[in-house]
Structure 1
Amino acid sequence: MNAQDLKNSILQLAIQGKLVKQREEEGTAKELLEKIEAEKKQLIKEGKIKKQKELPEIQEDESPFDIPESWEWVRLGTVCNIINGFTPSKSNPKFWNNATIPWFTIADVRSQGRFINYTEQSISEEAISKNSDRIVPKDSILLCCTASVGEYAYTNIALTTNQQFNGLVIKDEYGGVVHPMYVYEFAKTLKRTLLLQAGKTTINFVSVKKVSNIAIPLPPLEEQKRIVAKIEELMPYVDKYDVAYSEVEELNKKFPEDMQKSILQYAIQGKLVEQREEDGTAEDLYKQIQEEKKKLIKEGKIKKTKTLPEITEDEIPFDIPENWKWVRFGDIMINRDSERIPLSVSQREKLDKIYDYYGASGVIDKVDKFIFDEKLMLIGEDGANLLTRSKPIAFLAEGKYWVNNHAHVIDCGDYIHLEFVMYYINAISLAKYVTGTAQPKMNQANLNSIPVPLPPLPEQKRIVEKIEELLPYAKQLIKW
């Protein structure tokens, strides 16, 4: 998913009522619309405004998705005046001399972006009086309905437009019901709808009537404002994502065969981030880990484990930085397999579905009790996935959950960054540590024997941060 796809997803969630929570105290859109209709009838009765032709009611098949109960589907033309643009004759200098009224074209979007503060061209007041061009007030939405259909902008100034654009102007009577920036965010999602509405001419064209008939999902006013605020809050993160995604694309060119594997391989070899002298050495860190484990054994918090053999030279798969150290998995991690409890399918069928129930490759069910209430790493103990690797072997579990006897439960002290070890396990081949073919299994002894390249703790954290910056789906990998 690239940055534009992510923006589209956020906007889609926004207009479906899934980006922010609904609040009962904010009332309903229906109540606001009923109030407006009552006021309009009174103004018509008093002769202060003219009765307008009613737009057709929205049919069920015109609603492309479900919306919250407090929302209403309305026609765009119900809440907005649609002002179409015009190009004054270029042969008449009176239309272009003494020009004081900003005149908007597609070039203005391309030169300054989506929020319009000025225009490259202006027209005269005579051009307005002699033609059908009308002024679009400040805080209106500009929507391209011919040629470059779907282009949009928000105007911070009063202006006129050429015939490519329509101005969506919130009607006076809806000023307290419809937030212009909400309509602007909705306009971003309209390109496909407009293209489907386009007439069969040499260029795409959507009439004012068709624009007026477009259905817009309308939340209560305060919710509209919160939706806009949430979108504005999220966009800087999308921009950061865009930068990271671009880096991924560059790495993809560099490592076309297997981008994810290449990034992880660079990470575990100490080539993804720089080493820093102030981080200390892994040798010192290793000694701290051993002292911590001795303390925990003495306090009865963990059991003493069998001493693992020194790592031989032929077990080392690649070179690592000088301040790193090769260690055995079991020497630095804490195994908590003894706390696992398997539950049969028949046992689980009788339980309420509240807490995640983990197996070898992730959540396989829910139960009404939990064993663990902390962040731990789970590593598949058996199953074909150990060899096929269709899912991550190592993944994190957080909150309250239960683990059966098909996944190793791994803890660590304050000297290991759990995510670093998780990424390492997912980056290497485990074939030599797996026994059996019909039912592949990686027992605790084999897991503990795996050589692990250990960086200083601050570098472990920097490596994880870089991986998650470069791999858009890294967070999903952690929480699989």
Structure 2
Amino acid sequence: MNAQDLKNSILHLAIQGKLVEQREEEGTAKELLEKIEAEKKQLIKEGKIKKQKALPAIKADEIPFYIPESWEWVRLNDLALFIKAGGDKPRDFTTIKSETHSVPVIANGIQNDGIIGYTKNATVEDSCITVSGRGTIGFSCLRTEPFTPVVRLLVLNISNEIEQKYIQNVLTALLERGVGTSIKQLTVPMLQPKLIPLPPLEEQKRIVAKIEELMPYVVKYEKAYFEVEELNKKFPYDMQKSILQYAIQGKLVEQREEDGTGEDFYRQIQDVMKKQIQEGKVKKPKKLPEITDKDIPFDIPENWKWVRLGEIGFTNIGLTYKPSDISNNGTIVLRSSNIQNGQLDYNDLVKVSSDIPITKMCQQGDILICARNGSKRLVGKAALMDKDGMSFGAFMAIYRSLCNEYILHIINSAYFRNTMLPETGTTTINQITQETLRHCMIPLPPLAEQKRIVEKIEELLPYTKQLVKYI
């Protein structure tokens, strides 16, 4: 139950006579109606209000719920001295309040309490209830200061024998829920016959007092409910972050002596990279700074090794092409939109017909990374290439190594994002450069343990996605 549902429940308990007890000494609503009728006759006699047209008697099949014996079902028109709609904007209407133009001009809507401007003279002097006939249909408000209503705002002047706040609460309970979804507007003829559950006057006052006592708790509940909702929304993603963080700290699977060490695997990678350089398949990269103890962000198992991405793999930025290079029969050039939810999406493809260097071509198993984007949220999203023969755009990068399945999960971790895309004062960094990518430190486990880590992550992550459905 959200805060609005809680508020509605309180109001509906109130208008059913279940919020406060009934007291015999407070009389009955029937006696109250006799006083209202006498008041109306006197005002008609004095020429202050017009005689109202009689409405049909209330039939049993109209009554929506039971009320206490001391209450009465009445039509809203029975309690009102008048119900009318607002008129056109006054000729002297202005949006600026001043000494001469201080009377609020009220229209439909909740924003700014319905005030759209100001005028010199009020057309409603008495305390009244306003109801929105269009826009936020059914929204009601008790107004105690003189004002001028405009078209489609309905104005109710309720008998002096009635607690106006009670009627306003009744209208909130009966009108605000669903009225706007079934009708395009609310008119005076639609409002006049509305059924109102009427308690004795003193009970009305106690109901209003109880509602006002409870509403601050509804506000507190709303705040707490919102916080819980936000936690619920974040929980699956926080769980995913925790799984990845545990993985890169060596806490997700056990270490096994027979797996060897990260140092052993690092040397194997170095041998492969040197061979690729010697064969001219890749250029020799610049030497990277050694990792010192002060650089290390967290502890890892003894058989792991801290390395830089540039030490265990190669990276490159993508292809720059002109609009004139685009062709229906060219080579596919992957862009940021081709990575969706950690997977490659081939629905929105661009092809170019120009000659593409081998360094700008992807290989199956490469990690494709969005390296630059106007939205920081999209920078760093990545996916594993599942095909050969495609290129990638200038705002993209690829990373190629012998352990990309493991490294992809590091790239998806909060550690990588916080390292690569920090907030620098008031500046938001919206790109991952080649240098920052090569310098990025990662914990390197033995290859066999990497495989177990990847298996465990892929076993657990689907459960976090299922949580999103249920929260």
TM-score (norm 2): 0.45
* Larger Rg over CA atoms: 2
Structure-1-length-normalised TM-score: 0.44
